[in-house]
Amino acid sequence: MITEPRIPDPDGFYAALLAAHEGLSEAQSADLNARLVLLLANQCGDQAVLLACIRAATEDPTTAPAP
Amino acid sequence: METFAFAPACELPVWPFTPPPELASTKIVRHPIVIVGAGPSGLTLACDLAQRGVHAVLLDEDDTVGVRGASSRGICYAQKSLEIFERLGICERIAAKGITWSFGRTFSGTQEVYNFNLQADSVSKQPPFINLQQFYVEWFLVERILELGLTDMRWKSRVTRVEPLSDGVRIKIETPAGRYTIEADRLIDATGANSPIRTQLGIETHSSRSTDRWCISDVRFQKPLPAERWTWVDAPFNEGRGVWQHLMADGVWRIDYQMPEDCDTARISQPEVAGARLREQLGPDVAFEFVWIGPYGYRDHLLDSFRHGHVFFIGDAAHVVSPFGARGGNSGIQDAANLGWKLALVAQGQAGDALLDSYDAERQPAAKQNLQVTSRSARFLAPRSPAEHTLRRAVVALAARHPFARALVNTGRMSVANDYPAAPQLPEGGRSVQNLPLRWADGRETTLMQLLAEGTQCIGLWSAPARTEARAAMDATVSLPLRLLAIGGDSGLPTLQADEKLTRHLGIHDAGGFVLIRPDAYRAATLPHATPDAMAAALRTALAHDTAP
């Protein structure tokens, strides 16, 4: 898993991501994110990296505890 | 309200109970092999043994095939099972009665999102799948067993108790004519998911029960639909839930409908309710009649070990998985074929008890793999949380437009001949060899299954050996159960024509390459440059001759 910066225009990417979610309900945003995750996963295409990314995302300490 | 008709009941065969000699005697008779349960796995094992010339006793509490009348139950028979049936001499009958298919389509709503063609990877004489109601398969197996005439078939014989002994098993049996007791060197439990033998022995099953609910409809109608496997993730005619649609023998379709988890299982199976569902699916103009309707909730379990001393567990008695991908019955049939030749060689004194341990070492991991594969399909089909629903919606939405996402649509991964892990008797691991069409040097046609149907021996396929080497190899393996064949060349051995498809499937690349194929058509060893000694050593390894019992 690469954790060094690689996105050429980070602010531009983030703005595009926010723009894609603009005006969506919570459910629509969740659907959009899910589609995006799957599309990006296929770009990566490396099983070990994908599993490492899932682990890294799961370990985020700021995630709210389950209700 | 529309009323719905049932077809006349299918006439199932009945076989007579014949009082066995033990009933009239107080002497306890000992039998080498006793199989309990005449379902697909128990019958396949009895038939496999009989084909090898090995006698067995087969006990069954019923006197017919099928349960719950002529319900279809296991309907998809996979290529490996069909190859086993070919070797046992009933595949032609199954093919003539059943529906051959290799193509599957998956729909979401009204749109096709995924399809597969299993024929693409096949080099076998047998098709990827044949659909047939389970009772027909059992029926054909019984008739073949009776034809072979070596099996002591005891109907209406219920096992009430088993007692493990130091050198075998004592079995108490109840019949319409009274009770008796026999002993067995080895007992094979093929009594199915609710095995009373397993329960009585107190063996842990690690079972779990799904909350997913289905309704099965076996129904006959005339509508020109292709003989393909159609599945819906979310069918518009089933309130957005899953549906399976398959053609079987006698023009009967098997349709499985996913139901709400909290449904009333009695109500969903009423003809009016099931009929209304089917009417919505087929449209107003198609006449149909039901053959069988019933609710279905699946479960799974897996024994830690398929062998407990002198008791062996095969089929559903050993493992139960959810039905997606047809990995239940097919796995039981393959259990039987894995154990059959091992029991035969032990009975004939050509292998020791250690070979029987390899049954568990091979089939338990296969069942574990099937459990994992089917559990993943089950979870795709019945998401457990809002997040799982969201992810599945994303997969289905993307699959309609992008090929990559189609691989994530999981309505069942079809049964395969599982690879076996590396083990003392299988140093390279084991992989099934398909039923390749073969041709003798003189042009006569044969197949791998035809070669394996005679007796119980491994087959050694050797690419163009030299004459002196061939003679030395015959000498080195003379006391071992091996049929040595050449592929091409002029070695003096019985010779098959060289064929690129054959050598590629076997993984033989150069002259002198050798592949050892077990009686269950699994590749036991590959020797890139075989010598007679290495060949004999590979054979001894495959038969667990060197493993301490």
pLDDT for res A64: 67
Distance CA B496, CA B429 (A): 26
Contacts of B398 in chain A (CB under 8 A): 35, 38-39
Q: What single DSSP character describes residue B4? A: -
Contact in structure between B128 and B122 (CB atoms under 8 Å) = yes
Q: B 367-426 residues with CB below 8 A of A? A: 387, 390-391, 393-395, 397-398, 402, 404-405, 408
Q: What single DSSP character describes residue B269? A: T
pLDDT for res B531: 95
Residue of B nearest to A31 (CA): B390
In angstroms, the separation between the Cα of residue B115 and the nearest Cα of chain A is 19
pLDDT for res A22: 98
Mean pLDDT estimate for chain A: 94
Domains belonging to chain B, first-starting first, are: 26-98+131-207+300-381 (3.50.50.60), 431-542 (3.40.30.10)
In angstroms, the separation between the Cα of residue B87 and the nearest Cα of chain A is 40
pLDDT for res B41: 98
- Whether A44 and chain B come into contact, CB under 8 Å, resolves to no
Interface test with A, best of B380, B388, B391, B392 (most A CBs within 10 A): B391
The minimal CB distance from B394 to the residues A27, A34, A42 is found for A34
Beta carbons of B404 and A35 less than 8 Å apart: no
Residue A66 has pLDDT above 70, yes or no: no
In angstroms, the separation between the Cα of residue B242 and the nearest Cα of chain A is 21
pLDDT for res B546: 76
> Which residue matches tokens 């699994």?
B522
pLDDT for res B175: 98
Beta carbons of B394 and A42 less than 8 Å apart: no
pLDDT for res B525: 96
- B165's enclosing H/E stretch is strand B158-165
Alpha helices in B89-220 (DSSP H): 91-97, 134-148, 196-200
Distance CA B151, CA B459 (A): 26
The minimal CB distance from B404 to the residues A27, A31, A42 is found for A42
Residue A61 — pLDDT band, cuts 50, 70, 90?
A: confident
Mean pLDDT for each 10-residue chunk of chain B (549 residues)?
Answer: 83 94 93 98 98 98 85 95 98 98 94 91 95 97 98 98 98 97 98 97 95 94 90 95 95 95 92 93 92 92 98 98 94 98 96 97 98 96 96 96 95 95 96 96 97 96 96 96 96 95 90 96 96 96 79
Q: Which residue type does B416 have?
A: V
How far from chain centre, in Å, is Cα B409? 25
In angstroms, the separation between the Cα of residue B398 and the nearest Cα of chain A is 7
Contacts of A34 in chain B (CB under 8 A): 390-391, 393-394
How far from chain centre, in Å, is Cα B14? 24
Q: What is the pLDDT of residues B267-326, one digit of tens each?
A: 999 999 999 999 999 999 999 999 999 998 889 999 999 999 999 999 999 999 999 999
The minimal CB distance from B390 to the residues A31, A39, A42 is found for A31
ipTM of the complex model: 0.94
pLDDT for res A65: 63
Q: Going edge to edge, which strands form the sheet with B522-527?
A: B431-432, B522-527, B514-517, B458-463, B482-487, B495-496
Contacts of B410 in chain A (CB under 8 A): none
> Which residue matches tokens 């008779």?
B29
> Which residue matches tokens 């990559």?
B404
Report the interhelical angle of A26-44 vs B386-399 (nearest 10°): 60
Interface test with B, best of A29, A33, A35 (most B CBs within 10 A): A35
Q: Which residue type does B308 have?
A: H
Interface test with A, best of B390, B408, B409, B410 (most A CBs within 10 A): B390
Contact in structure between B254 and B75 (CB atoms under 8 Å) = yes
pLDDT for res B433: 97
pLDDT for res B549: 45
Q: What is the pLDDT of residues B329-384, one digit of tens each?
A: 999 999 999 999 999 999 999 999 999 999 999 999 999 999 999 999 999 999 99
Contacts of A31 in chain B (CB under 8 A): 390, 393-394, 397
Residue A62 has pLDDT above 50, yes or no: yes
In angstroms, the separation between the Cα of residue A58 and the nearest Cα of chain B is 14
Q: Which residue type does B314 have?
A: I
